[in-house]
Structure 1
């Protein structure tokens, strides 16, 4: 996997909070608005970027990720302006990864070429399903044929592209998922994300679940789908380098590796989060105002969307690093952990529990690193509950 996140580089996340409609399963910070003043939002994002960059000027920037919401509703001019400002503030890595999330409907696909000209070199498409009935069920605004066309366009315009799929949908069985996934992998670039459908409180899907109107596959069926995902992806040359993410060699998402390896990253835009290590070695958790209107007012009035900055103690930081790092097949290197946290791994991990989990085939506990096995990553929450002290 790319090692850049281990060598002092940072990532930048840009949040665009707007969507044309809200999907019934989505609990992200996304909002539907009748009109968006693109110039006003461009100016505010540039100002928030200037604020976030203070103290980091000149650092190597390994990745930029435009997420949302639906960033493919941003003017390409806004993307270009943010990339130009970032280039002036930071030292772009020679192989910097610049990703933009996009919907695969034909209206938004028309802007793909403009994003490529602006400097985006990796597209992440929210395909979610390759079946029209499933897309209607998920509340998506595109059809399966549009998704296939968008994937072909992405292949022609961008050096790299990825797309997301959702499985364990109501009414879906393992055989249907195997067929859909195999077709998807035949269309894939160098990366695929596959997520089990979740029913988050506050979403329409959760309300329907509570009313008994929809029912997801049972736990055993979901486990079978998870295992099938890993098996079929591997057969197509896509290794499961993280719980839900699969890539060809070298195709891993560098931006997400910044998160999972617990490196520094800056976040701008409504609700964006960041992690920064200060000169004293302490790691700070930074949060920007969540509401689009509150964030906009704050940036225009105070020059920054930052709402809170909290210094994490060593235990909090260690817990975060292990929770993120054990999602990766590579796990957490002991030397990187000690350098980042300022204390050895054993200060935060129960060695007896680690040896027990290792004996059960859920964990590898070695001299140089700790890593969850494929079986361990399938039950990661339970593994962490036993492992952490």
Structure 2
């Protein structure tokens, strides 16, 4: 077998490598600027061999010239090229670049042609950390929400800061969105951006004395009467109905004088919700995407052992991440690489994957999310997983 000869790599490929690194970790740099300063892209140029030079002397000369021009333009303490003398046919002994090290977030962004984007992200992050005393928390909140606000017009971003400042100075719990008295901000603006506002707002409250900030989290606004569907999966649980849909505030009044059901399973798929069999000491919630946020308003749900079973896709993991904002003890079920590998033949490409950067997933969940992404942004829907596979794993969550 004849070994395949690697082709020399040029500065454009270094640009692409830096762009890939930027896309993958720039939010981590926002959260940890010291880590960003220490980031290094190490790039091998795969310099031409004697066979390369003999076969294409003009291409070899052009390759060397491009790297010299690159070093002349970009070389310095943060862009380090290592050269070594090599003998090539037709060239004699000639210095060839062997490898390049690009050091630091700013420099990587510059080489990646992302400098203006990076400057915009940094500028907006700095404005977010001015909202409160705990700059570490605010940096993390900025990093977690940057995918949402990065492409906003400047006016919309200014409104985000203004709403946060107003909420820091005024009680919001129990109010309607229309009562947020910020010029240019209407009800629809608040309702469509509540999650990003609350993430930044909670970080801004961190480090403030409890006597000053109280115990509020989020905005606590009254919204439309969000309705949640609940199924009682254990006939022995004291409740007159097995399947009921109700406004969240009414469901919140259940089991006030008792501990409530020990186990709660949250699903985002109606087919799965309706097909759930009897499970001891368990109720199930389905809320057409609202269930994970409604959990925070249900005292009995927060007391339960919570399992979340979502589609195996980027959106499912984003919902799981959001659920843990309210219930950090929630666990996932059937959202792992074992399930993906077993039923991959039923996975399909997701036409609109989310690029949100979840911060509350376990290492195993992150592995599954990465497998979905690298596999071509796959999605494996809940209902494609046979019950004889799913049920033992659902039972095992609380065993």
TM-score under structure 1 normalisation? 0.27
Task: Compare the two structures and name the one with the higher strand fraction.
Answer: 1
Q: Indicate the structure with greater helix content.
A: 2
